[in-house]
Chains A and B, each alone.
Chain A
Amino acid sequence: MKELKVSAINKGTVIDHIPSGKGLKVLEILNLPEDNTILVAINVKSQKLGRKDIIKVEGKILNEDEVNKIALIAPTATVNIIDKWEVVEKRNVEVPDEIVGIIKCANPNCITNYEEVKPKFKVISKKPLKLKCHYCERTMEENMVVKNLL
């Protein structure tokens, strides 16, 4: 059987090398508009990961915030920008040093949960993921990060 080419959409974004089982979570956190055509492949054979998930989004180029969000739960993912059926740009996602406005603070008493302010975190460890709230100084581990994605 012929393998699907990663660029098999006309224009948009392909998120490849998502750890197997995380594809639907990635889709959930991206909260994409309903009018985008989205193709999801789960548990696809992968040389790099053994098994992987893939998401193809027709007609949508992900912005930096969206790519950073993916990095928090699928650090192995690659983001391919597609134009006229070709990959025109390929990016590895990377957890940034600072994360602004995409996760809420897990501390229920943090001021960011009460005021109109973008939550801001300093990444104190990328592996394992550990974030420190810029405001309340409380740290969050990876399992809390996933639960608190905005």
Chain B
Amino acid sequence: MKFQDVISINDFGKEEIEYVLKTAKRLENELNERKILQYAKGKILATLFFEPSTRTRFSFESAMHRLGGSVIGFAEASSSSVKKGESLMDTIRTVEKYADVIVIRHPREGAARLAAEIAEIPVINAGDGANQHPTQTLLDLYTIKKEFGRIDRLKIALLGDLKYGRTVHSLAKALSYYDVKLYFVAPQGLEMPRHIVEEISDKLEITETNDLESVIPEVDILYTTRIQKERFPDPAEYNKIKGSYRVDLKLLERAKETLKIMHPLPRVDEISYEVDKTQYSAYFRQVWSGVPVRMALLGIVLGVVE
């Protein structure tokens, strides 16, 4: 299977998702055997981060280096020609002469799709405004598969800012390809948008609630998200909602022993630090999942990994 770009999780069917997860697993096994991989030897990745995101950028750079390739790029728009007024289209036309694949993060929605249409080399979306972050969704699925050996037959709660959180929007959509039960747990005012609920509700069972305590004993995975202060049009609204849920040891007394807590990170105060050392925390292993998944995606779009 070959695809040219990775722009939106909506472009992926179950077959493509499974193919990425399988390829990531194979590459991770090769890394674990201490092999020095050379799949992308001589290939250059350009990371165009028009807004900062250290974690995602490091993850892509680590993935490219582990594939044997090299990396060029910038970490914020102020260090690029955008500061001089250059259009995104001209930036892409220029950078594609220097690199074999582009990873782009941009504050404007649709920027990655436009970049992919302009560029003759593959483009991977590392986040375009509040729209898409498809590689995060794929690494979330990969983490679930590693933790449980499967995605099917799991009960998964998505907790927190379900209104503005693009990771939970894409994850909910991707999970609708599987036999799972979803719980949308959000403070009042931050519920999952109706269009997403409607889009997937005929494919799987969904429970919507504000009551985290009632959901905790039921679920296999608690996917927690941060309330994103920066997305609130009105700071007063944020102040009303902040701190309205917190995952701590007391809450987890009622959880299944096998419960796994995930989080796209960074966290603020929604997961207590005392949870980190328990068997529940999967969020730092989730960070590692980004590397094999992004290795797989880079390898596939470059045509160097089958």
Q: For A111, A116, A133, A135, which residue has the most chain B Cβ atoms within 10 angstroms?
A: A111
Q: How many residues of B contact A (CB 8 A)?
A: 19
Known: A136-B110, A137-B109. A117 touches B89 (CB 8 A): yes
The answer on a CB contact under 8 Å between A136 and B109 is yes
- Complex CA gap A112/B128 in Å reads 13
Nearest A residue to B109, CB-CB: A136
The answer on a CB contact under 8 Å between B89 and A139 is no
- Complex CA gap A88/B216 in Å reads 70
Task: Determine whether A89 belongs to the interface, using a CB cutoff of 8 Å to chain B.
Answer: no
Nearest chain B CB to A36's CB is how many angstroms away? 35
Nearest A residue to B132, CB-CB: A137
The secondary structure that dominates the A interface is loop
Which residues of chain A come closer than 8 Å to B195, judged between CB atoms?
139
Q: How many residues of A contact B (CB 8 A)?
A: 17
Task: Determine whether A47 belongs to the interface, using a CB cutoff of 8 Å to chain B.
Answer: no
A-B contact pairs, 19 of them (CB 8 A): A105-B110, A109-B109, A109-B130, A110-B108, A111-B108, A111-B109, A111-B111, A116-B89, A117-B89, A134-B110, A135-B109, A135-B111, A135-B113, A135-B114, A136-B110, A136-B128, A137-B131, A137-B132, A138-B109
Binding site for B on A (CB under 8 A): 105, 107, 109-112, 114-117, 133-139
Binding site for A on B (CB under 8 A): 8, 10, 87-89, 106-111, 113-114, 128-132, 195
Given contacts A107-B109, A114-B88, A134-B113, 9 further A-B contacts (CB under 8 A): A109-B107, A110-B110, A111-B106, A111-B113, A117-B114, A135-B111, A136-B109, A136-B128, A136-B129
